[in-house]
Amino acid sequence: MRVHKTGARIARATVDLVIPTVCGGCGTPGTRWCVRCARMFADTPIELRTSVVLPVPAYALGRYTGARRRAILELKEHGRTDLTNPIGLALATALRTLDRWSELPGSTHLVLIPAPTRWWAARRRGGDPVTALAAAAAAELGSGVFVKPVLVTSSWARDSAGLSAPERGENLSGAVRVRRGADLAACGGAAVVLLDDVLTTGSTAAHSIDVLRRAGVEVHLVLVVAAA
∠ CA(35), CA(15), CA(91), 5° rounding? 40
| Smallest distance, Zn ion to C-beta of residue 140, A | 20
| Smallest distance, Zn ion to C-beta of residue 18, A | 19
Q: Which is nearer to Zn ion, 40 or 195 (CB)?
A: 40
- Long-range contacts of the stretch 205-208 (C-beta < 8 A, 24+): 205/50, 205/52, 205/54, 205/58, 205/115, 206/52, 206/53, 206/54, 206/55, 207/172, 207/173, 207/174, 207/175, 207/176, 208/113, 208/115, 208/116, 208/151, 208/176
Interface contacts to Zn ion, rule CB under 5 A: 23, 25-26, 34, 37
Q: Which is nearer to Zn ion, 23 or 98 (CB)?
A: 23
Q: Which is nearer to Zn ion, 34 or 83 (CB)?
A: 34
Would you say 87 and 41 are in contact if contact means Cβ atoms under 8 Å apart?
yes
| Smallest distance, Zn ion to C-beta of residue 195, A | 23
| Smallest distance, Zn ion to C-beta of residue 67, A | 6
Determine the length of the chain.
Answer: 228
Q: Which is nearer to Zn ion, 209 or 225 (CB)?
A: 225
